[in-house]
Amino acid sequence: MRDAVHDAVVDLLVIGEINAAIPKIAEKAGVNPTSVYRRWGSREQLLLDAAVTRLRATSPIPDTGSLRDDLLGWAEGVERAMSDPRGQILLRALVATLGPEKEPLEHLRARGEDLQAALDRATARGEPAPSVDDVLDFVLAPLYLRVLFRRPVEPGTGALLVERLLNSL
């Protein structure tokens, strides 16, 4: 059910149904709206889950034994996801949906924990490691801002941003 609902919400966003309500999403997915409400509670939670699930699948944080290679692999995955129109529309819808008063939600926290685990592994190996905030500021934010401002995400952008981050250490 989860994949069908995620696909339905993205498909609706792609065709311009930016404000599709849960009943319409459920209909497109072929599931009961009650099941969607029970699992996600709100459209915002559904969008967040779809976005983070997609990013975890398209840009996992590898464990290569080198912080540079871990961050490069991850950034290249984020770059690919942000070059894909489906990833772009999902990010834009998510940003438009979440209000500034929201606490960092469970899904976003989990993604930050993934990054922290990679940084902790590097530190344990004796490598200098940035903070999660530095990774967000130097790598993720520029990629996301390009999408939000409808600027192209050129191949190699993620690698360039990772190198800038590591050179700043």
- Domains belonging to the chain, first-starting first, are 1-41 (1.10.10), 44-167 (1.10.357.10)
Structure tokens at 86: 């489906």
> For tokens 């930016």, what's the residue?
18
b vs e for 121-149, b when ≥16 Cβ sit within 10 Å of the residue's Cβ?
bbeeeebebbebeebbebbbebbbebbee
Closest CA to 14 of 50, 45, 38: 50
Q: Is 41 helix (H, G, I), strand (E, B) or coil?
A: coil
Q: Is 65 helix (H, G, I), strand (E, B) or coil?
A: coil
pLDDT in tens, the chain (169 residues): 999 999 999 999 999 888 899 999 999 999 999 999 999 999 888 988 898 888 888 888 999 999 999 999 999 999 999 999 988 988 888 788 776 665 556 667 778 898 999 999 999 999 999 999 999 999 999 999 999 999 999 999 999 999 999 999 8
User: What average pLDDT does the chain have?
Assistant: 91
